[in-house]
Amino acid sequence: MSFKHFTDKKIGFLTWIKDNANYDIFTLKEVLDKIHSDVLSDEIIKIGFKEGKEASTLKGRKVKFYDRGNKREFEIITNLFELRADLIAALYKIRWQIELLFKQLKQNYPLRYFLGDNENAIKIHIYCVLIVTLLISVIKKKLKRSWAFSNLVSFCKMHLFNYIQLMKFLENPQKDWIIDKAEIEQLLLFWQHFLRNERFLKIKQLKNR
């Protein structure tokens, strides 16, 4: 059992408890500042598990709290007995943010296959993905226009080698593609000058023959 392994190795763990978990309540702990911290209960429990053919128990701690952001209750199990219940709840919320980051990375970047097969190459690949995620997150935060993170990633993939004013385009994608009359005239003058030079070079090459 993973919980017993972590406890034997003196490694702290923090995870949600399954609905079908087998446990008995050993002690009810007093919850202070219940309304402020949203902690609903704090219990010392005995978790039942099988070690080989024999049934055994493990001492644990179950904290139940209400998450106002998700508007739901969470029940978590841990072996961190010294921390306050509200800190346990805060740690789980931070852990959930890490889970959301992993989900974001898996959805938007090709991390199923790596460009190299050695440890250093895999680390470089992951670091590059984290840097790109950070850059796009900064861009998303600076934009006034609302963009989904996945849409920003897709857009950057499509226009990776195109020269555009990124922030200006993202603020108003429809307007930025419209070229005014002065820009059209400048482009026409450029191409006329370019074609004239091309003709001159070809004529010069023919004369030199």
**pLDDT tens digits, one per residue of 54-65:** 777 888 899 999
Q: Does 193 fall in a domain?
A: no
Residues 74, 6 within the same domain: yes
Percent above pLDDT 90 for the chain: 6
pLDDT in tens, 68-112: 877 888 888 898 988 888 888 888 888 878 888 888 888 888 777
Buried b (16+ CB within 10 A) or exposed e, 66-86: eeeeeeeebbbbbbeeebbbb
Q: Domain end: 72, 103, 134, which one?
A: 103
Q: Does 62 fall in a domain?
A: yes
| Rg of the chain on CA atoms, in Å | 30
Domain count, the chain: 2
Q: Does 135 fall in a domain?
A: yes
Strands 39-51 and 54-67: antiparallel
Q: Does 96 fall in a domain?
A: yes
Percent above pLDDT 70 for the chain: 80
Tokens of 40: 């609903």
Residues 92, 133 within the same domain: no
Contacts of 172 (CB under 8 A, 6+ apart): 145
Residues 45, 89 within the same domain: yes
pLDDT in tens, 150-180: 888 888 888 777 777 778 888 887 765 555 5
Residues 18, 95 within the same domain: yes
Residues 130, 50 within the same domain: no
Q: Does 194 fall in a domain?
A: no
Q: In what order do the strands lie in the sheet with 23-28?
A: 14-16, 72-78, 54-67, 39-51, 23-28
Q: Domain end: 103, 129, 152, which one?
A: 103
Q: Does 188 fall in a domain?
A: no
Q: Does 202 fall in a domain?
A: no
173/202: higher pLDDT: 173
What type of residue is 194?
A: F
Q: Domain residues for 140?
A: 119-176
206/26: higher pLDDT: 26
